[in-house]
Each structure stands twice: as C-alpha cells, then as structure tokens.
C-alpha cells in the first residue's frame, strides 16, 4: 500500500520515490499504463508495413503502419505462448511471424496464419486472438501517443497548455512538420528515471554541474548557458498543468540560430507561411518543454528525448534529432551533428548530469534524511489566471507541478 500523501508535499518529495521498488511498480501501473505515453513519430513509419518497437512503461509494443496507411499500436506478445512477435527495433514487413510456433499477424494485429490449424477444432476463434491493441491511440502534429486505458481525457486535453509550446517548437518547420530519420543518441544510467525529468526542467544546476562545458563553449563560441541560468536572467520556469512544464529562455533568446545565408532563406520561408509576427515568435522561442510523464523537447538543439524507466535504479534515454521539413539542408544537418556534443554518453554536458543522478541515488539511501526539497521560489512564484505557474529560471516551479500530477495519478487507483 502506498500512501501518496505521505510521499509528496507541496515543496518536497520522499526519498522512497527514488528507491522503493513498490513505488516503481505503482508508477508503471498507475501512470505509464494509464496516461498518454509517446510511442513514436509518424515519419518513423512513413510507408505501409513500416514498424518500430518500443515500450509503454514496462510493456513492449509495436508502432506499425498498415497497408491502408492506418497507424496501430499493438502489444508485442504472441497470443499463443506469449513470445515477442517482433524483435527488430524497426523495419518493414507486411506480417509479424512469431518465431516460436509460426503464428502470423498482419500489420494491424489480425491473426492471419496458424500452422496445422486442424489441431484446434472447429470453434477456434481467430478474431479473438488478434494482437491486443492499445485501447486509445492519437496523434498530435505527427507525434503518436497511446494510452493503455480505454477511458480518460483525450490527448488534446492531456496536452493542455503544453500544446501551445509544442506548436511554437513545431512551427519552426517551414512546412509545419518535422521528420525523425536521423538516428538516435542513446544513453543509460544506474539511477531513478525521475532524476532525469527533474534535471531537464532544472535551471538551477547548470552553472554548477556544467561549469566546465560552459567555459569551453565560451572560449570556442563566445557564448554559453551561464548567463541564461543565473537567477534574475529574465528566463522563466513554467508549470503548465497536468504535470507538463518548461524552461523558457525566449525572453533572452540565447542566439543559437546563426544569421548566415541559409538562415536568411529559412526565415523568409517561415515569414511566408506564418506571417512576420508569428515567425518572429517562433524564431525567438528557446524552450525546453516537458510533456508528462516522459517526453522532453529542446528546440535550440532540435531534438526530443524519451525517458524509459527500466527499474527503480536503471533508466535509458533516447534522444532523437528531428529535421524541420522545408528548412535548408545545412541548417538541419548542423543540428544533428551538434547533438552528440551535449547528449551522447561521451558528451560535454549530459554525462555530468548523470554523475549527479548516480550520486543522488546513492545519497538517497540515507534514511535519517527523508526528504528531497523542491521549495525554491515557492514564495515568489506567480499563478496566472489560467492556472499556469511561473517563476525565475532557477526556481523549482516545474518540478512542483510535475510531482502534483504524479501524486494525482498515483492516488487515483
């Protein structure tokens, strides 16, 4: 039994959130297996028969495009004895054939082949033995989400205000859509998944954890994240409701977008599509957006990350660069190559965060100190009329919002 009221207060969470296997189990059941979870981008399965395998919480699923173009999220589990029907990470096939006894499913999960069917008698019901589908699947601008719960709020209701920020990020594509075909940076770390989420929304740590990365960036490029992540910089932390949050540097745009010829052409194409005012807002946007429970966007480094909880003390992260459809090739390419500088397991930035997570995981074994504090900026945060909460970039506003949503999902059994 987990008493969430004893684990989460407004300004703090209990150490058990990171260390207790029972909490992890409950997170999988109550959060990941009920809410909307991102499963992939439509461009990853552009052609009929294209598929990729992924996870919703602990459960293996296949994101697949059927011959009629429809998109399906299938549970990756043979209805006969339970083996994965698809082992490959991605590919193209009109069928999934289980390697164990040869049962065959098509790309929308129908059972279309059973060897020696006579052995099952006349009442054998193939229709009942289709691969289970995620009860709800929905897309927003090419981003496919699934929910393992047959009921609940719609994807758009779930996204809520995060949708405005996602629009701001995706409108940077001259054609209005992005493509996810440039591979993926992967890394893992031996600590709890929420340490990564907190960190992606944390404008307090960079000047300490990333001091050396900032020094190097300043010496090479004349700029770094140092000023932006200083208290009072003008950058903001935001809690957007439903657990979503953002660090918003737009007011002091850090100038990642270079002003060369390719950029000028790109800006013109945006102005044609969006008008000068919206184009200026889109180009000025510098946002790190978190979509509860495990999807994170950073438009300045043109990528998103999916955080995969594996065990209480084991997490995998997949960072996907995206390209802006209709943007100049050189602009897109620069971003794909630049990602390894920050987000690979050998990068100049993220590995120092991972060291912090691992130290937290070890430090949180101490039982005489029970609480992890998220009190920063509580007294000075502003609540907007629509419920959004805004604070200084160094304040723990988004983490507080994330844990209130965490608490609601966990309590609502």
* Closest CB to other proteins among residues 220, 386: 220
Interface with other proteins (CB under 8 A), residue from 18, 51, 189, 266: 189
Q: Which of residues 296-335 bind other proteins (CB under 8 A)?
A: 316-318, 321, 333
**Residue 318, beta-bridge partner list:** 186, 306
Contact status, residue 185 vs residue 319, Cβ threshold 8 Å: yes
Question: Minimum distance from CB of 173 to other proteins (Å)?
Answer: 19
User: Are the beta carbons of 133 and 109 closer than 8 angstroms?
Assistant: yes
Instruction: Report the 3 state secondary structure along 167-206.
Output: HHHHCCCCCCCEECCCCCEEEEECCCHHHHHHHHCCCCCH
Burial of 93 (0-12, 13-18, 19+ CB in 10 A): middle
As a whole number of angstroms, the distance between CA 87 and CA 178 comes to 27
How many chain residues bind other proteins (CB under 8 A)?
A: 36
Select 25 or 330, whichever has its Cβ closest to other proteins: 330
Please select the residue that binds other proteins; options are 93, 269, 340, 404, rule is CB under 8 A: 340
Q: According to the binding rule CB under 8 A, does residue 88 interact with other proteins?
A: no
Among 12, 186, 265, 278, binds other proteins (CB under 8 A): 186
CB of 211 to other proteins, least distance (A): 5
Q: Distance of alpha carbon 260 from its chain centroid, rounded? A: 31
Q: Which of 341, 370, 404, 408 binds other proteins (CB under 8 A)?
A: 341
Distance CA 398, CA 246 (A): 7
CA distance 100 to 80: 9
> Looking at 137, 354, 364, 405, which residue binds other proteins (CB under 8 A)?
354
> Is 180 a residue that touches other proteins (CB under 8 A)?
no
CB of 212 to other proteins, least distance (A): 5
> Which of 60, 152, 190, 234 forms a contact with other proteins (CB under 8 A)?
190
What lies within 8 Å, CB to CB, of 373 at 6+ separation is: 11, 12
- CA 245 to chain centroid, in Å, comes to 12
Site map 198..227 versus other proteins, x via CB under 8 A: -----------x-xxx--x---x-------
When binding is defined by CB under 8 A, the residue of 352, 375, 408, 411 that contacts other proteins is: 352
Q: Helix (H, G, I), strand (E, B), or coil: what is residue 158?
A: helix
Query: Can you give the three-state secondary structure of 229-297, one letter per residue?
Result: CCCCCCCEEEEEECCEEEEECHHHCCCCCCCCHHHHHHHHHHHHHHHHHHHHHHHHCCEEEEECCCEEE
| Cβ count near 288 (within 10 Å) | 23
Question: Which of 78, 339 has the CB closer to other proteins?
Answer: 339
Residue 133 makes contact with other proteins by CB under 8 A: no
For other proteins, which is the closer residue by CB, 207 or 237?
207
Pick from 344, 360, 375, 404: which binds other proteins (CB under 8 A)? 344
Segment near other proteins (CB under 8 A); pick from 166-174, 185-193, 234-242, 375-383? 185-193
Which residues contact residue 355 at a Cβ distance below 8 angstroms, ignoring those fewer than 6 apart? none
- The stretch near other proteins (CB under 8 A) out of 98-106, 163-171, 352-360, 376-384 is 352-360
Sign of the Cα pseudo-torsion (214, 215, 219, 223, in order): positive
Tell me which of 94, 337, 382, 413 binds other proteins, using CB under 8 A: 337
User: Is 293 near other proteins (CB under 8 A)?
Assistant: no
**Cα–Cα nearest to 186, from 28, 87, 303:** 303
411 binds other proteins (CB under 8 A): no
Minimum CB–partner distance for residue 51 and other proteins (Å): 17
Residue of 105, 143, 145, 187 that binds other proteins (CB under 8 A)? 187
Nearest distance from residue 351's CB to other proteins, in Å? 4
Instruction: Establish if 55 lies at the interface with other proteins (CB under 8 A).
Output: no
Report 7-26 residues binding other proteins (CB under 8 A): none
Selection from 353, 378, 408, 399 nearest residue 247 by Cα: 399
- The C-alpha atoms of residue 4 and residue 22 are separated, in whole angstroms, by 12
Cβ atoms < 10 Å from Cβ of 368:
4
Q: Is residue 86 close enough to count as binding other proteins by CB under 8 A?
A: no
* Whole-angstrom distance, CA of residue 48 vs CA of residue 93: 8
Q: Does 195 bind other proteins (CB under 8 A)?
A: no
- In the complex, the residues that contact other proteins under the rule CB under 8 A are 89, 182-190, 209, 211-213, 216, 220, 316-318, 321, 333, 336-337, 339-341, 344-348, 351-352, 354-356
């Amino acid at each position: 039994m987990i008493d969430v009221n004893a684990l989460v207060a407004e300004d703090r969470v209990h150490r058990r959130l990171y260390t207790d296997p029972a909490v992890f189990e409950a997170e999988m059941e109550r959060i990941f297996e009920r809410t909307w979870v991102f499963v992939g981008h439509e461009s990853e399965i552009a052609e009929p028969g294209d598929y990729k395998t992924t996870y919703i919480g602990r459960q293996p699923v296949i994101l697949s495009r059927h011959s009629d173009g429809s998109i399906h999220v299938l549970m990756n589990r043979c209805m006969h004895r339970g083996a994965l029907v698809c082992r490959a990470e991605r590919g193209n096939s009109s069928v999934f054939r289980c390697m164990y006894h040869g049962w065959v499913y098509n790309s929308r999960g129908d059972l279309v082949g059973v060897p020696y069917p006579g052995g099952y008698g006349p009442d054998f019901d193939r229709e009942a033995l289709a691969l289970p589908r995620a009860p709800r699947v929905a897309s927003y601008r090419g981003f496919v989400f699934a929910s393992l719960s047959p009921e609940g709020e719609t994807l758009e209701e779930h996204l809520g205000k995060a949708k405005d920020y996602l629009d701001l990020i995706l409108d940077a594509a001259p054609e209005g859509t992005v493509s996810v075909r440039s591979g993926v940076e992967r890394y893992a770390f031996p600590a709890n998944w929420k340490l990564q989420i907190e960190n992606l929304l944390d404008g307090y740590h960079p000047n300490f954890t990333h001091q050396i990365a900032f020094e190097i960036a300043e010496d090479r490029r004349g700029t770094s994240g140092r000023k932006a992540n200083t208290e009072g910089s003008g950058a903001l932390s935001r809690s957007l409701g439903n657990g979503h949050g953002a660090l918003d540097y737009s007011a002091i745009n850090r100038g990642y977008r270079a002003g060369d010829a390719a950029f000028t052409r790109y800006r013109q194409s945006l102005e044609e599509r969006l008008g000068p005012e919206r184009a200026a807002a889109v180009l000025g946007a510098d946002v790190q957006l978190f979509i509860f429970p495990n999807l994170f966007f950073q438009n300045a480094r043109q990528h998103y990350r999916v955080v995969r909880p594996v065990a209480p003390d084991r997490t995998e992260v997949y960072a996907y660069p995206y390209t802006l459809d209709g943007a100049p090739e050189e602009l897109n390419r620069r971003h794909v190559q630049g990602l390894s500088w920050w987000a690979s397991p050998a990068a100049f930035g993220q590995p120092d965060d991972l060291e912090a997570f691992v130290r937290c995981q070890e430090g949180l074994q101490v039982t005489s100190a029970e609480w992890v504090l998220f009190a920063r900026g509580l007294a000075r945060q502003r609540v907007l009329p629509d419920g959004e909460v805004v604070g200084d970039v160094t304040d723990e506003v988004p983490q507080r919002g994330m844990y209130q949503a965490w608490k609601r999902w966990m309590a609502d059994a």
